[in-house]
Amino acid sequence: MRTTLTIDDGLLRQLRQKALDSGKTFKQVVNETLRAGLQQPVEAARHRYVCPTFSMGQPQWPVDLDKALTLAAELEDQEIVTQLMQGQ
């Protein structure tokens, strides 16, 4: 199939040099290079992100950290009551 491509100058020089070095036609080198690039798995190019974790030690006060949301809600309620009482 015939098509028109716009190839960067540096890439064009590399492809032409590869064709000269291998004794193949430019068309063969382009097709082989594209085929090799398409056969590589996409996942190989991606790097898995790992988020580092750090120990914060044991709490210094008697708080059940499993119920942190309940504690936060209670503290928020107390703050709202305090603000309402100061406004009256």
Q: Determine, yes or no, domain membership for 61.
A: no
Where do runs of H (alpha helix) occur along 1-88? 9-22, 26-39, 68-87
In the predicted model, is pLDDT for residue 43 greater than 70? no
In the predicted model, is pLDDT for residue 52 greater than 80? yes
pLDDT tier at 88 (50, 70, 90 boundaries)?
low
The count of structural domains within the chain is: 1
Q: Determine, yes or no, domain membership for 50.
A: no
For residue 35, the 8-state DSSP code is: H
Q: Determine, yes or no, domain membership for 57.
A: no
Q: Determine, yes or no, domain membership for 31.
A: yes
pTM score: 0.46
Contact assessment for residue 19 and residue 26, using Cβ atoms and an 8 Å cutoff: yes
Which residue range(s) make up the domain with 20? 9-41
The backbone torsions φ and ψ at residue 2, rounded to the nearest 5 degrees and listed phi first, read -100, 135
pLDDT of residue 1: 84
Tokens of 10: 């540096």
